[in-house]
Structure 1
Amino acid sequence: MRIGKTNNSCVAKVDPGSSLVAPEKVLRDAETARCVQSAASSFNPPQNSNHHHDFWPAIAEQQVSCLSRLSRTQFSRGFASVNNATTSQDPDVSSRTPPYPKLLKRLAEVRRVLGAERALTLSEKILYSHLDNPEESLLTGTDNGLNIRGNANLKLKPDRVAMQDASAQMALLQFMTCKLPSTAVPASIHCDHMIVGQRGADVDLPESIKGNKEVFDFLESASKKYGIEFWPPGAGIIHQTVLENYAAPGLMMLGTDSHTPNGGGLGAIAIGVGGADAVDALVDAPWELKAPKVLGVRLEGQLSGWASPKDVIMHLAGKLTVRGGTGFIIEYHGPGVDTLSCTGMATICNMGAEVGATTSLFPFSQRMVPYLQSTHRASIARQARMIASFPSARNLLSPDENANYDQVITINLSELEPFVNGPFTPDLSTPISQFAATSEANGWPKKVSAGLIGSCTNSSYEDMTRAEDLVKQAAAAGLTPSVPFFITPGSEQIRATLERDSTLATFEESGGVVLANACGPCIGQWKRTATEEVPLPTKGEQNAIFTSYNRNFRGRNDGNPDTMNFLASPEIVTAMAYGGSTSFNPLTDSITTPSG
């Protein structure tokens, strides 16, 4: 039996009624069109660049006026729960909307400081529009603004902070010493790092809550006191929850976790920091960052067959190594961008951390609009689409036409094949067509001992349903996974949708174990046990697991330094769980069915 390729299209489902246009939406879209037309018609930059000091503030005021009519942004915060992720009503997103009028004004000031003719990358536009004092940050120690990257000490004012339960504790204790009544910027806490995966969500989640009750109670009470949105255990993995609720084009946020750049899949500058850095933003102190260099990655063509967005970053990791992106922001661009889904772009940005990049991001694209709409943020989509319609010089959400990158790498998506990275380092990249031979040459284990899909990198609805497609094909042929197979949904919204669409039932009927919506085995919260078919490997015994995770260092997942974790896309991991051998190539090999 051959397992067929999966569909590369975005598979997010929207209720049929969502295509109907309510009268209010018609009026608001008409208002958007008038604002765009008015602002665009006023763009007549003077030929004499000496007049740009007068020009940029004027056009900024025009943009701000349009945006203000679209959304009266008032600061407010809600107290989050699991139910927030599944509500059918559009919530109040005022505190989740980037302060676009303020950012456009600040971008105009940056143009005044650097000169109207200065071309900027997307990351520079977003970073510089969050400067506390553009003139001070951009002109000090930079040859009057000529050499900003790698030299300037940027003092930034982020829009938002997200914290996971393991790192939030110390950050909150530090914040409490400041004696402030609430955080200066919207903030959220996500309980995802302290939940063990073993027998399934129904058993594991209550046990983990009981074992960590003191920590969770502290985080919840502190959240209530300081106006922080609290996502309790089971609500989801921080980065998937942020993508569904907080990330937005042009946003700048800090997160107390290294995979915070996941938000770049929606065009945000999202940077992973330590707890002390997060406190800077929480108390309204400028957060300092050495101006990064910019690595441009041009995407051409379109993914096909078994190739997935995960393979883009795993291929890039093989080129750059784990340190190749240090001091850089990775900025994706090119015609291939428009062929990727939002969750696919988030996957690519997420693993930018594995090459040491400060962060990664994609420009605003129309693919982001339906994702924002289906996650109850239609108003943000309208504003972002309006801003994106302006000429590039004032477009906060895309790079200038002549923007310069410190380095450029081109990837042809049409030529990309699936990759397997590892073991023991995420930059040891092997094309699937060469993996069997490479495994044999290196003496890696022949048998696969477990397959795990999920993590903040690959736990979206799209990821899960691509894996489900393979499971259905295998089930139709009478096949079940040959090794323990674990599935981790990224959020309660995803889990509930997968349950609604019978995807979870498909996994469970195949023998898969659905774990809690949390980090689980990816960060070592895996209480690995033996099964009748696969005994528990002992320390000193080499064994191979395949995961759709992001890191594979020794001992990371199960505490066994001899467990070799091979990273791959969810569909490749699923196929390997059925094939059961490191010599199996799902693109070319067949599996013998029970009937022969």
Structure 2
Amino acid sequence: MVFDLDMIQRVYSQYPKRIAAARAVMNKPLTLSEKILYAHLWDGEAQSAFERGKSYVDFAPDRVAMQDATAQMALLQFMQAGKKRVAVPSTVHADHLIQARVGASKDLQDSLNQNNEVFNFLASISNKYGIGFWKPGAGIIHQVVLENYAFPGGLMIGTDSHTVNAGGLGMIAIGVGGADAVDVMAGMAWELKFPKLIGVRLTGKLNGWTSAKDVILKVADILTVKGGTGYIVEYFGEGAKSLSCTGKGTICNMGAEIGATTSTFGYDESMRRYLNATGRKDVVAAADAIAEHLTGDPEVYANPKDYFDQLIEINLSELEPHINGPFTPDRGTPVSKMRQEAVENGWPTKVEWGLIGSCTNSSYEDLARAASIVQQAVSHGVVPKAEFGINPGSEQVRYTAERDGILSDFEKMGTKIFTNACGP
């Protein structure tokens, strides 16, 4: 189902003139991030160029997304704004107030018993003001947004730090506080200091057990937990095009762990496939019509040092699987060196719990990849030495995984299947 197609087409219709105006004032090729930001200026077409890291700029986001824990105060404030409906498409997702303890059915029912008043309030207010409401069990906000609302070249804000996940579908998506969400829903401009830009050129192609997650683990090791603060991280190159859309989403999602304002990828074939697979062929047609505006200019990617404030280069063909931690998410260690590092540093080596889930690891791709190992383990009689659980990212992911026998494979291994929610 395509949500808000009219809005998407309206945004795209403005792109050519707004990009042309940006080129005129900047007098240089544009990155994808610059195109999206300049296409969403509150005042319309650009009249002057903005200075990265210094200029405060008013923007007009296309969407607002809120999760149940942060939406409560935001909606209470919005009720005082005197508006009959929200000014931009907005959604509330009941996913954070569900605790994973026993299993999907019991945990979901316990959450309904404990938080029924909150859920009823959110549903009632959402219905009154034209806000989409995703009930408990429907899925994690960021996976649901990727499956239903994200679109290449869009600008979205959300009341959760991992809103940046939508960059996997070519958006500029930024986590904000509830007050910012209220302003935008009430029809006001949203102010942001114009970000600096980090370019990450990906070459080669993932091989073996290396996954998209290892890309961001490597980037975190390079930049540290504060290295992305004030920056948009823009991924490009043939390696970027080889990644799946949900893999791109994982990379953008964990950009929050390096402090980045957001992360994004240019529109490509993997995004077309994902949009078509999730019933959004009309969005594909609209995006294809302005595809040149939904990625950085060729000159930018040919000479990235001239257009980005920082440049990182990663050869996916040489990238190893990584483990980040312990104690900090920016300490990256290749799996091949993990044993040695653990011994030398006295790290704990007993794994007590394994989880595939949360907004970073809960796509169908994540579950299917792990299930292939589980199938081999079960066939060889391997008995787990630690507890293990999964929580699918959405009902669509859960249903598809059940249909394809993935959930039953996990259950044979004694895996706990939790509800479609944010995590334990």
Give TM-score, length-normalised by structure 1.
0.68
| Closer, same or farther: CA 96–479 of 1 in aligned 2, 3 Å | farther
* Structure 2 counterpart of 1:193: 96
Q: Secondary structure, in 3 states, of the residue corresponding to 1:367?
A: helix
| CA deviation after TM superposition for structure 1 residue 92, in Å | 5.5
Identity %: 56
Counterpart CA distance in 2 for 1:91 and 1:265 is: 18
Partner residue of 1:124 out of 34, 37, 44? 34
CA contact (8 A) 1:96 1:245 kept: no
Counterpart CA distance in 2 for 1:481 and 1:187 is: 43
1:399 maps to 2:296: yes
Matches within 5 A, 1:4-153: 90-91=1-2, 93-94=4-5, 97=8, 99-112=11-24, 114=25, 117-133=27-43, 139=48, 145=49, 148-153=51-56
CA contact (8 A) 2:108 2:136 kept: yes
CA contact (8 A) 1:260 1:272 kept: yes
Partner residue of 2:155 out of 247, 252, 269? 252
Q: Which amino acid aligns with 1:132?
A: W
Counterpart CA distance in 2 for 1:466 and 1:93 is: 33
Q: Which amino acid aligns with 2:18?
A: R
| CA deviation after TM superposition for structure 1 residue 103, in Å | 3.1
CA contact (8 A) 2:266 2:295 kept: yes
Counterpart CA distance in 1 for 2:332 and 2:400 is: 33
| CA deviation after TM superposition for structure 1 residue 119, in Å | 1.3
Counterpart CA distance in 2 for 1:162 and 1:370 is: 24
1:263 maps to 2:173: no
Segment of structure 1 superposing worse, 162-171 or 444-453: 444-453
1:284 maps to 2:187: yes
Q: Which amino acid aligns with 1:165?
A: D
Counterpart CA distance in 1 for 2:365 and 2:4 is: 25
Counterpart CA distance in 2 for 1:516 and 1:158 is: 31
* Structure 2 counterpart of 1:164: 67
| CA deviation after TM superposition for structure 1 residue 102, in Å | 2.4
| Closer, same or farther: CA 482–96 of 1 in aligned 2, 3 Å | farther
* Structure 2 counterpart of 1:498: 401
CA contact (8 A) 2:210 2:321 kept: yes
Counterpart CA distance in 1 for 2:388 and 2:344 is: 27
Counterpart CA distance in 2 for 1:96 and 1:488 is: 32
Counterpart CA distance in 2 for 1:420 and 1:138 is: 47
Gap regions ≥5 residues in structure 1? 1-89, 140-144, 389-394, 522-596
Q: Which amino acid aligns with 1:110?
A: A
Counterpart CA distance in 2 for 1:512 and 1:250 is: 39
| Closer, same or farther: CA 491–104 of 1 in aligned 2, 3 Å | same
Partner residue of 1:342 out of 226, 236, 245? 245
**1:175-213 superposed Cα distances (whole Å, 9 cap, x missing partner):** 111110000000000001000101110111011111000
CA contact (8 A) 1:161 1:186 kept: yes
1:469 maps to 2:372: yes
Gap regions ≥5 residues in structure 2? 301-306
1:457 maps to 2:360: yes
Matches within 5 A, 1:528-567: none
* Structure 1 counterpart of 2:303: none
**1:247-291 superposed Cα distances (whole Å, 9 cap, x missing partner):** 110010001000111000000010000000111210111100110
Partner residue of 1:240 out of 129, 143, 148? 143
Counterpart CA distance in 2 for 1:105 and 1:174 is: 36
Counterpart CA distance in 1 for 2:384 and 2:105 is: 22
CA contact (8 A) 2:3 2:149 kept: no
CA contact (8 A) 1:267 1:361 kept: yes
Counterpart CA distance in 1 for 2:4 and 2:225 is: 37
| CA deviation after TM superposition for structure 1 residue 445, in Å | 2.3
CA contact (8 A) 1:109 1:134 kept: no
| CA deviation after TM superposition for structure 1 residue 480, in Å | 2.8
1:379 maps to 2:276: no
Counterpart CA distance in 2 for 1:322 and 1:345 is: 19
Counterpart CA distance in 1 for 2:317 and 2:143 is: 27
| CA deviation after TM superposition for structure 1 residue 100, in Å | 0.8
CA contact (8 A) 1:138 1:148 kept: no
Partner residue of 1:515 out of 418, 421, 424? 418
**1:342-369 superposed Cα distances (whole Å, 9 cap, x missing partner):** 0000000001111111000000001111
Q: Which amino acid aligns with 2:328?
A: T
* Structure 2 counterpart of 1:563: none
**1:398-439 superposed Cα distances (whole Å, 9 cap, x missing partner):** 111233111111000000001111122110111111111111
Q: Secondary structure, in 3 states, of the residue corresponding to 2:389?
A: strand
* Structure 2 counterpart of 1:182: 85
Q: Secondary structure, in 3 states, of the residue corresponding to 1:447?
A: coil
* Structure 1 counterpart of 2:273: 370
CA contact (8 A) 2:5 2:283 kept: no
Q: Which amino acid aligns with 1:97?
A: I
CA contact (8 A) 1:472 1:506 kept: yes
What is the number of equivalent residue pairs in this alignment? 417
* Structure 2 counterpart of 1:482: 385
RMSD of aligned Cα (Å): 1.4
| CA deviation after TM superposition for structure 1 residue 107, in Å | 2.3
Counterpart CA distance in 2 for 1:158 and 1:134 is: 12
Segment of structure 1 superposing worse, 478-487 or 343-352: 478-487
Q: Which amino acid aligns with 1:398?
A: T
* Structure 2 counterpart of 1:328: 231
* Structure 2 counterpart of 1:12: none
Q: Which amino acid aligns with 2:244?
A: S
Counterpart CA distance in 2 for 1:343 and 1:397 is: 18
Q: Which amino acid aligns with 2:36?
A: I
| CA deviation after TM superposition for structure 1 residue 138, in Å | 6.1
| Closer, same or farther: CA 285–468 of 1 in aligned 2, 3 Å | same
CA contact (8 A) 2:3 2:148 kept: no
Q: Greater relative contact order: 1 or 2 (C-alpha under 8 angstroms, separation 6 or more)?
A: 2
Q: Secondary structure, in 3 states, of the residue corresponding to 1:219?
A: helix
Counterpart CA distance in 1 for 2:42 and 2:101 is: 47
Q: Which amino acid aligns with 1:128?
A: Y
CA contact (8 A) 1:138 1:154 kept: no
1:273 maps to 2:176: yes
| CA deviation after TM superposition for structure 1 residue 152, in Å | 1.7
Give TM-score, length-normalised by structure 2.
0.96
